[in-house]
């Protein structure tokens, strides 16, 4: 029987959505779902949601729940990773401490000082997951949703190159979905291809029956001046290819916007957005827990199926699918550094997730990506070498941080964040 392990199952809203997608496939309605979280209450809630979801869908999975990660991984064929090390409290620290220095962030989970320290908190747990998988499910596929996606996949590729690990993110799909709505073309009639790095990939081709849709997008932007007041639209106008993550995300990966009050106003950038999102997640968790304990039915309506259920279904049934996913750059994008994680088109079937080589990105896109990659490479190397100086050097080359702070401020900020996160960080990187 197929065993699907959920790590971080206490992310209950996301877990509910994944379960609804999984159990909607006829071939997966009898799988084993092994749930794991380190928080007993959240694990209890996740188990209740899994049972309620199965009941509402008329599915008959075997459901287990364990606080012991290795026990939950034993015999798994697929491992869905959705952990958040430090939870809301760590997120608040990642925003409040930099803000004292005048450093603005919007999401703080990818690069920047927020992404750097989120990665450093996550790496030790990833190392433990990799060790457990090697011991009890060495052939399983690790389907990672945890951010910072690119750094996490690059770190896993460095410490466990034999592990079947792939990063899944919905940003490419939803970018194309929303652009198709904007230009009035059905998504299922569109062909598209994107590549770059996670949260900063580029829509290289976007076509309807062989015709590029970019001219229609240009016409829509020309017709609505408010559309131009978004970071992604500004980047597209200046770089020629549409970036595949929200304007909130995109604004903090480059040096051009957050340092300037006028740009924040012009492009309507919501500084500190992820703190509000994180607070909303806590409220969603409480509401979902209350609803399931009260016996209320869950809302299982889904506008689109997440990637992990599609990947599992394809591997189990041989159904051929093409997705965009994150893997180590082993000859896939030739003008980005080898070894770091890239987001590229992939084919999925019984043989697994197989990335497709893209070749060179447009030079201006690769140039922007390389600033992103440099931060990630130094952060991964800091953890591998146990070198605190590399953490600070990663922050020094981060585009938004470097545009805002002096080098003295950057080092002092890293000292403060290191002290604040304490034991969540690798011991070698603490004072």
Residues linked to residue 79 through DSSP beta bridges, in sequence order: 5, 142
Q: Under the phi-then-psi rule, with left for phi > 0, alpha for psi from -120 to 50, and beta for the rest, what region is 215?
A: alpha
Which residue, 93, 158, 162, 80, is CA-closest to 121?
A: 93
* CA angle (169 as vertex; 17, 272 as ends), nearest 5: 90
b/e 38-71 (16+ beta carbons within 10 angstroms → b): eeeebbbbbbbbbbbbbeebebebebbbbeebbe
Which residue, 106, 112, 88, is CA-closest to 273?
A: 106
Fold of 88-109+168-271+306-431: L-2-Hydroxyisocaproate Dehydrogenase; Chain A, domain 2 (3.90.110)
Instruction: Please answer whether residues 298 and 49 qualify as being in contact, where contact means their C-beta atoms are separated by less than 8 angstroms.
Output: yes
For strands 164-168 and 141-144, give the pairing: parallel
**Distance between CA atoms of 37 and 356, rounded to whole angstroms?**
34
Which residues, 6 or more positions from 301, have their beta carbon under 8 angstroms from its beta carbon? none
**Distance between CA atoms of 81 and 335, rounded to whole angstroms?**
30
Residues linked to residue 278 through DSSP beta bridges, in sequence order: none
Structure tokens at 27: 């071939």
Instruction: Find the helix or strand (DSSP H, E) in which 263 lies.
Output: helix 261-266
The answer to whether 137 is annotated as binding is: no
Q: What is the pLDDT of residue 305?
A: 87
Query: Distance between the two ends of the chain, CA-based, in angstroms?
Result: 48
Main-chain phi, psi angles of 366, to 5 degrees: -65, -35
Question: Locate tokens 């869908």: which residue?
Answer: 57
Residues annotated as catalytic are 170
Q: What is the pLDDT of residue 431?
A: 74
Q: What is the pLDDT along the chain (431 residues), one digit of tens a residue?
A: 899 999 998 888 889 999 999 999 999 999 999 999 999 999 999 999 999 999 999 999 999 999 999 999 999 999 999 999 999 999 999 999 999 999 999 999 999 999 999 999 999 999 999 999 999 999 999 999 999 999 999 999 999 999 999 999 999 999 999 999 999 999 999 999 999 999 999 999 999 999 999 999 999 999 999 999 999 999 999 999 999 999 999 999 999 999 999 999 999 999 999 999 999 999 999 999 999 889 999 888 888 889 999 999 999 999 999 999 999 999 999 999 999 999 999 999 999 999 999 999 999 999 999 999 999 999 999 999 999 999 999 999 999 999 999 999 999 999 999 999 999 999 999 97
Q: What is the pLDDT of residue 86?
A: 96
The answer to whether 88 is annotated as binding is: no
**Distance between CA atoms of 384 and 159, rounded to whole angstroms?**
8
Q: What is the pLDDT of residue 280?
A: 93
pTM over 0.95: yes
DSSP string, 354-378: EE---BPPPHHHHHHHHHHHHHHHH
């Amino acid at each position: 029987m197929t065993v699907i392990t959920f790590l971080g199952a206490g992310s209950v809203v996301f877990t509910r959505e994944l379960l609804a997608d999984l159990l909607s496939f006829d071939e997966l309605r009898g799988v084993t779902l092994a749930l794991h979280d380190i928080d007993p209450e959240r694990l209890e809630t996740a188990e209740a949601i899994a049972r309620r979801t199965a009941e509402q869908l008329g599915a008959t999975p075997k459901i287990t729940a364990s606080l012991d990660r290795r026990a939950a991984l034993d015999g798994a064929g697929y491992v869905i990773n959705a952990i958040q090390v430090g939870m809301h409290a760590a997120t608040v620290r990642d925003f409040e401490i930099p803000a004292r220095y005048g450093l603005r962030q919007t999401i703080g989970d990818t690069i920047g000082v927020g992404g750097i320290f989120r990665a450093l908190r996550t790496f030790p747990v990833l190392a433990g997951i990799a060790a457990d998988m090697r011991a009890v499910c060495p052939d399983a596929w690790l389907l990672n949703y945890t951010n910072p996606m690119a750094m996490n996949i690059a770190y896993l590729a460095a410490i466990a190159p034999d592990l079947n690990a792939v990063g899944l993110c919905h940003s490419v799909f939803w970018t194309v979905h929303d652009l198709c709505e904007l230009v009035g073309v059905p998504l299922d009639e569109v062909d598209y291809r994107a590549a770059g790095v996670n949260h900063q990939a580029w829509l290289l081709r976007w076509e309807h029956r062989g015709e590029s849709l970019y001219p229609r997008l240009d016409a829509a932007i020309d017709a609505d001046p408010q559309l131009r007041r978004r970071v992604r639209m500004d980047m597209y106008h200046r770089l020629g290819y549409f970036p595949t993550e929200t304007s909130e995300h995109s604004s903090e990966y480059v040096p051009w916007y957050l340092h300037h009050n006028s740009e924040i106003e012009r492009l309507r950038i919501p500084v500190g957005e992820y703190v509000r999102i994180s607070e909303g997640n806590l409220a969603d968790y409480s509401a979902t827990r209350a609803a399931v304990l009260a016996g209320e039915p869950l809302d299982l309506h889904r506008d689109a199926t997440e990637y992990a259920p599609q990947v599992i279904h394809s591997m189990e049934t041989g159904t051929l699918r093409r997705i965009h996913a994150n893997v180590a750059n082993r000859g896939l994008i030739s003008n980005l550094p080898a070894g770091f994680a890239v987001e590229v088109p992939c084919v999925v079937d019984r043989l697994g997730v197989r990335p497709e080589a893209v070749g060179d990105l447009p030079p201006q896109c690769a140039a922007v990506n390389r600033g992103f990659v440099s931060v990630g490479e130094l952060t991964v190397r800091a953890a591998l070498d146990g070198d605190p100086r590399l953490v600070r050097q990663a922050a020094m080359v981060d585009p938004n941080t470097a545009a805002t702070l002096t080098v003295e401020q950057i080092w002092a900020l890293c000292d403060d964040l290191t002290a604040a996160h304490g034991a969540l960080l690798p011991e070698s990187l603490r004072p």
